[in-house]
Homo-oligomer: A and B are copies of this chain.
Amino acid sequence: MRIREATAGDWARIWPFLRDIVAAGDTYTWDPDVTEERARDMWMQTPPGRTVVAVDGDTVLGTAKMGPNHLGPASHISSASFMVHPAHGGRGVGRALGNHVLDRAREDGYRAMQFNAVVSTNTRAVGLWRSLGFEILGTLPEGFRHPTEGFVGLHIMYRKL
């Protein structure tokens, strides 16, 4: 597995699993019916943002995007989002992307990373971020309408860099 900057040509291999993850409506605060054009605009970042892919040869295993979470006097706080291809789960893609993004954020001079909306029922993600040093700063009660669990909490997670 190798992690590198995403190119425009990678999008065609990102969109199929990104679309499925968003359409499932259980982990992402995106419109489940997002159009491909809007999704590409939201995922494929321009500087100072970055988008990376984890690849194995020609196969895209997962992707992450990162950038400033706030502007101006709070622009030292970064954020990031992650999508792992469901067919390639369980082999550490999310963890590798997480570590990579933390390293890049440090290099870019950010002082902390904040996740704005981690669905509380997404226990694998919450556990992964905890193991990478994130803590839950607060939980928005009933912040997320889960397709089968109803209204569940939405964690704000944070770690210093």
Residues of A near any B CB (own CB < 8 A): 22, 25-26, 28-32, 34, 70-77, 111-112, 114, 116-117, 137-147, 154, 156, 158, 160
- Excluding A29-B73, A32-B73, 19 further A-B contacts by CB distance (< 8 Å) are A22-B72, A25-B73, A28-B72, A28-B73, A29-B75, A30-B71, A30-B72, A32-B72, A70-B117, A70-B143, A73-B145, A74-B117, A77-B140, A111-B142, A112-B143, A116-B116, A137-B156, A138-B138, A141-B160
Is the CB–CB distance between A74 and B31 below 8 Å?
A: no
Residues of B within 8 A of A25 (CB): 72-73
Contact residues in B for A116 (Cβ distance below 8 Å): 70, 116
- A68 (CB) vs chain B CBs: closest residue: B29
In the complex, A45 Cα to B147 Cα: how many Å?
30
Q: Are A158 and B137 in contact (CB under 8 A)?
A: no
**Contact A145 B76, CB 8 Å, known A70-B117, A156-B138:** yes
Q: What are 15 A-B interface contacts by the 8 Å CB criterion? A: A30-B72, A32-B72, A32-B73, A34-B72, A70-B116, A70-B117, A73-B146, A73-B147, A112-B140, A114-B140, A137-B137, A137-B156, A138-B156, A141-B160, A156-B156
A86 to B114, CA, bound (A): 32
Shortest distance between the CB of A151 and any CB in chain B (Å)? 8
CB-defined contacts of A72 to chain B, threshold 8 Å: 22, 25, 28-32, 34
CB neighbours of A145 from chain B (8 A) = 73-74, 76
